[in-house]
Amino acid sequence: MSLPTRPSYDLVVVGSGPTGSTYVREICERHPTARVLLLDAGPRLTDRPGAHVKNIPDPDERARAQRAAEGPGPAGRPGTRLLGTPDLPAAAVSTNVGGMGAHWTGACPRPGDGERIGFIPADEMEADLTRAEELLHVDPHAFDAAPFAQEVRDRLSALVDAGRPAHRRVAPMPLAVTARPDGAHAWSGTDVVLGPAAHDERVDIADRCLCLRVVMDGDTAAGVVVRDLVTGEETGVAARAVVVAADALRTPQLLYASGVRPPALGRYLNDQPQIVHAVRLPDEVVAAHRAVTGRTRDEDGAIVPQSGVSWVPYTDAHPFHGQVMQLDASPVPLAEGTGVAPGAVVGLGWFCAKDITPDDRVEFSDTETDVHGLPGLRVHYRHTDADLAVIERAKRAVAEAGAAVGVPLDGSPVLLPAGSSLHYQGTTRMSPADDGTGVCDSHSRVWNTRGLWVAGNNVIPTATACNPTLTSVALAVRGARALLDHLRTTAERARTTDPTGVRTR
C-alpha cells in the first residue's frame, strides 16, 4: 500500500528497519487493540516485508531488489546509495521496506567494557539484549561446522586471548540467521523482527510513503504528514505516539524539519574507522578440508559457510572489534585475478572506537532542500589525533592477526574511506539528563516532548567498535516498554474525559 487507509492510529513508526520494526512487534504483542502504521519511503522488495535480499536464489532477481533499494543517485555497496558527503565519502543509505536489515551481514556481538551504556542498569540491559537476540534469531554457533572455522579461531585465540576474561575471548560471531527445516541457514532480515506483526490486521505497512514532518501540538507529537511518492499526494495522519527510526542521518533531518531541534540534534556523529586485510589460509589447512566449494550461497539461497565468521571482541585495552570471515561473504569484495579459491580467503576487518566529539555532526539548512523538499544536510567529520593513534594500533593488530591466520594476499592493512562501516551512530543520542548532550532519555523519549520517540543506531551514546544493530534493537525493546505505558496512560485519560475536556473520574 502507499498512503495510509486510516485517518488515525495509536502509533506511527517512521522507518521499517530493525529498530522501527521492533517497536511494531513489541507493541502489537503487548497491546491488544493498538492500531499501528509503519511507514517507509522505499519500495517493498520481497513478498515477506523486509526479507533479506541475499536469500533470493535467483541472482538477477536479487540484483533487481538491490537496485530498487538504492534509489536515484550513485550506488554504493549493493543495496545502498552514496550520499555524496565529502567529509564522509563512503556514507550510504538504503531506502526500502526492511531498511539496512534487508542487506546487512547479520553480525550481532554484545557490547563490552567501555561500549556499554553506563547509565542504564546492567541487569536491565542484559535482559533487553537477550530479547533483541530472540527478535533477530541470533545464533552464536550456526557456522561452527564450517570447514575452516575452528582452525581460524584457534590461530586467533593463540594470539590474543591471554589475559582476557572468558566472555571477551575469540569466539564464533553471533549471527542473525534463521534455521530452515532442512537444517540449512538463511540470513535474518527485518521480516523475522516483525514476525506475526507483518500480517496483523491492526498493522498497516505503507511503502513508497515519505514522512515530511512530525506534527507537533505544542510539545506533543500528534501525528505525521506523509507524501505518496508514486502519486505525489500528501495527507495528514493523527497518532497518539510517533517513533522516528529513519537511520542516523535521516532521523535528525526529520526532527529538524518538524521543528524539534534540541542542541545535540545531529551532533556526536560516530562512524567506526574500519581497517581491512585479506589473507589466504595455508596450503596444508586447505588440503585438510576438501569441502571447499568456492560458494557462499546454495542454489536455493541457503548459506554455504566455509571459514564461518569469527569474533575478536573489543576491550578497553584492545579498543577495536575484529570481524573475521570468508572474504566472499564479506561486504568488501575479493579482487579478481588472485588465483585463490574464494573459500580459502579470509577477510579481517577491525573496527575502531571513535573519539566522539560534538563537532562531528550533521548540519541542516534552513534555505536548501534535498530532492524531497526536506532540509539539506551537510556532514562535518574528521579523525582526531586520538583516532589516528587508535587507527595505527588497529593496523598493527590486524596485520598480526592476519599473519597468525594465514598468508597476506596484499600489502599493509588498509583504512577504508570514512563512512564505509555503515555503522553511523550518535546523532540522536540518549543522555542520563536533559543537559544538552543528548536528544532523548534512556528510554529513547525525545527530551521535552510527549509521545515522540527516536530509534536506531543513532540513539547509542557510547564509543562502540562492535556492530551496533543488536544494541540498537535492545534499546528499542527498552523504549517500547515506555511507549506501551504511554499508550495505556493516554487511552485511560481518553476514557475518563468527556468531549468538553473535563475529567469524568
Q: What distances in angstroms separate CA 142 from CA 157, 175, 331, 349, one per listed residue?
A: 19, 7, 19, 20
Mean pLDDT to the nearest integer, 41-48: 96
* 3-state DSSP assignment of residue 378: strand
User: Is position 111 within any domain?
Assistant: no
Residues 170 and 192 in one domain: no
Whether the per-residue pLDDT at 393 is higher than 50: the answer is yes
Residues 388 and 286 in one domain: yes
Higher pLDDT, 10 or 300: 10
User: For residue 338, what pLDDT is reported?
Assistant: 52
Check: CB of residue 381 under 8 Å from CB of residue 268: no
**CA gap 116, 112 in Å, rounded:** 6
User: Is position 115 within any domain?
Assistant: no
User: Is position 143 within any domain?
Assistant: yes
User: Is position 362 within any domain?
Assistant: no
User: For residue 440, what pLDDT is reported?
Assistant: 98
| Percent of the chain residues past pLDDT 70, beyond the cut | 89
Residues 192 and 147 in one domain: no
Nearest alpha carbon to residue 410 among 285, 303, 279: 279
Confidence band (pLDDT; 50, 70, 90) for 505?
very low
Q: What are 409's three cell numbers?
A: 594476499
| Percent of the chain residues past pLDDT 90, beyond the cut | 77
**CA gap 355, 265 in Å, rounded:** 18
Residue 399 sits at φ, ψ, to 5 deg, of -65, -40
Q: Which helix (H) or strand (E) holds 414?
A: strand 414-415
DSSP, res 109: P
Query: pLDDT (tens digit, 9 = 90+) per residue, 56-83?
Result: 999 999 999 999 999 877 888 899 999 9
Whether the per-residue pLDDT at 482 is higher than 60: the answer is yes
Query: pLDDT (tens digit, 9 = 90+) per residue, 328-363?
Result: 444 445 445 555 555 678 899 999 999 999 999 999
Q: What are 164's three cell numbers?
A: 582476557
Number of structural domains (the chain) is 2
User: For residue 15, what pLDDT is reported?
Assistant: 98
Q: What are 179's three cell numbers?
A: 534455521
User: Is position 122 within any domain?
Assistant: no
Residues 64 and 197 in one domain: yes
**CA gap 326, 148 in Å, rounded:** 9
Residues 88 and 18 in one domain: yes
CA atoms within 13 A on the CB side of 365: 11
Residues 338 and 412 in one domain: yes
Mean residue pLDDT across the chain: 90
Burial, 158: exposed, middle or buried (Cβ in 10 Å; 0-12, 13-18, 19+)? exposed
Residues 347 and 413 in one domain: yes
Residues 284 and 180 in one domain: yes
Residues 298 and 252 in one domain: no
Residues 211 and 305 in one domain: no
Residues 207 and 66 in one domain: yes
Query: pLDDT (tens digit, 9 = 90+) per residue, 360-380?
Result: 999 999 999 998 999 999 999
Q: What are 477's three cell numbers?
A: 525493546
Residue 73 sits at φ, ψ, to 5 deg, of 105, 175
User: Is position 315 within any domain?
Assistant: yes
Higher pLDDT, 492 or 209: 209
**CA gap 22, 27 in Å, rounded:** 8
End residue of a domain, out of 417, 441, 467: 417
Q: Which helix (H) or strand (E) holds 62?
A: helix 59-70
Residues 473 and 406 in one domain: no
Reply yes or no on whether 277 is catalytic. no
Beta strands in 23-159 (DSSP E): 36-39, 81-82, 92-93, 138-139
Identify the CATH number of the domain in which residue 464 sits.
3.50.50.60
Which position among 372, 423, 443, 486 bears the catalytic label? 423
User: Is position 402 within any domain?
Assistant: yes
**CA gap 268, 265 in Å, rounded:** 9
Amino acid identity for residue 166 in this structure = A
User: For residue 281, what pLDDT is reported?
Assistant: 86
Q: What distances in angstroms separate CA 155 from CA 149, 291, 315, 336, one per listed residue?
A: 10, 20, 19, 27
**CA gap 194, 44 in Å, rounded:** 14
Residue 318 sits at φ, ψ, to 5 deg, of -130, 75
Q: What are 382's three cell numbers?
A: 574528521
Whether the per-residue pLDDT at 288 is higher than 60: the answer is yes
Q: What distances in angstroms separate CA 227 from CA 42, 216, 297, 340, one per listed residue?
A: 12, 18, 38, 50
* 3-state DSSP assignment of residue 27: helix
Q: Which helix (H) or strand (E) holds 244?
A: strand 234-244
Identify the CATH number of the domain in which residue 171 sits.
3.30.410
Confidence band (pLDDT; 50, 70, 90) for 495?
low
User: Is position 325 within any domain?
Assistant: yes
> Which of these ranges, 135-144, 207-216, 234-243, 478-487, has the smallest mean pLDDT?
135-144
Q: Which domain does 101 fall in, by range? A: 1-106+188-269+424-497
User: For residue 297, what pLDDT is reported?
Assistant: 56
Nearest alpha carbon to residue 305 among 134, 78, 139: 139
